[in-house]
Amino acid sequence: MGKKIFVACDTNSINEVKKIIINTRTRKLKIGYKFGLEFINSKNGRSFISKLKKKIIFADLKLNDIPNTCISTVKAIKDLKVNYLTVHISSGLEALRGVKKVSGKTKIVGVTTLTSFNNKNLKQIGYTRSVKSLVIQQAKLASKAKLDAVVCSPHEVPYVKKIFKKEIITPGIRLSGDKAKDQKRITTPKKAFKNGATSIVIGRSITKGNIKKNIQKLINSLN
């Protein structure tokens, strides 16, 4: 499977993305680029992605809708030929299976409970179970729907990997010393891989400040 780093290109600026791509170039890491709702919905974002060549592309659409809408969306972005596409596992088994059926070569990534949630925030939206028990349930569903990967917090990998045997991707990563900001369940890259993540998603710790220096810091931290 090979450890991968997905750099979250959370911006609406094409110049910013170009800057990220140029400055993250390295032979020492396998790097992919993650584009979320912000960039894909920006004026020229979609067309920029369609022109990227020989890059690992991760479309973080976090689909969360009825099966028909999820399936139609997967068909609608076929031309982008993305390598990874995210769907919330909470969309349900029927939606997950439906998406998997039409996804072709694109790997379908099931998103468990967002890393910005803790038990208290979960209660606020009416979920009475703990993050852990919810994530375990979601990992089982992802496995049942034969998804290609799941996204979970680095702290959840130890029990997710017992249930879900394919790729495990973890966001909520900070280079040591960086602030948590809005994330609740975070750790360092090294610890995430040690826990059993196969890839990590890292945004602000790389893209804010001097990108080249941050990449070097990441490489050093993994040694």
| Residue 155 in the binding site for ligand C5P (CB under 6 A) | no
Q: Which of 3, 62, 166, 184 is catalytic?
A: 62
190 is catalytic: no
From the list 5, 7, 8, 61, which residue makes contact with ligand C5P (rule: CB under 6 A)?
A: 8
Residue 111 binds ligand C5P, judged by CB under 6 A:
yes
Q: Which of residues 23-82 bind ligand C5P (CB under 6 A)?
A: 36
**Binding string, residues 165-184; x marks residues near ligand C5P by CB under 6 A:** ------xxx---------x-
Burial of 29 (0-12, 13-18, 19+ CB in 10 A): middle
Residues in binding contact with ligand C5P, number by CB under 6 A: 16
Q: Which of 40, 85, 151, 157 binds ligand C5P (CB under 6 A)?
A: 151
- 8 Å CB contact between 156 and 134: no
From 47-55, 128-136, 159-167, 202-210, span contacting ligand C5P (CB under 6 A): 202-210
Round to whole Å and give the CA distance between 54 and 72: 26
Largest Cα–Cα separation, the chain: 46
User: 100 vs 204, which CB is nearer to ligand C5P?
Assistant: 204
Out of 59, 188, 203, 214, point to the residue binding ligand C5P (CB under 6 A): 203
Q: Which is nearer to ligand C5P, 45 or 203 (CB)?
A: 203
Instruction: Look at residues 169, 170, 166 and name the one whose alpha carbon lies nearest to residue 187.
Output: 170
Cβ 202 vs Cβ 189: under 8 Å: yes
Looking at the Cβ atoms of 40 and 145, the one nearer to ligand C5P is 40
Helices 131-144, 93-102: inter-axial angle, 10-degree rounding: 40
Residue type (1 letter), 143: S
Evaluate whether 78 touches 57 at the Cβ level (below 8 Å).
no
- Note whether 204 binds ligand C5P by CB under 6 A: yes
Give the DSSP per-residue string, 44-81.
Answer: THHHHHHH--S-EEEEEEEE-S-HHHHHHHHHHTGGG-
Q: Which residue stretch of 68-76, 88-96, 159-167, 199-207 sits at the interface with ligand C5P (rule: CB under 6 A)?
A: 199-207
d(CA 132, CA 130): 5
Interface residue list for ligand C5P (CB under 6 A): 8, 10, 36, 111, 114-115, 151, 171-173, 183, 201-205
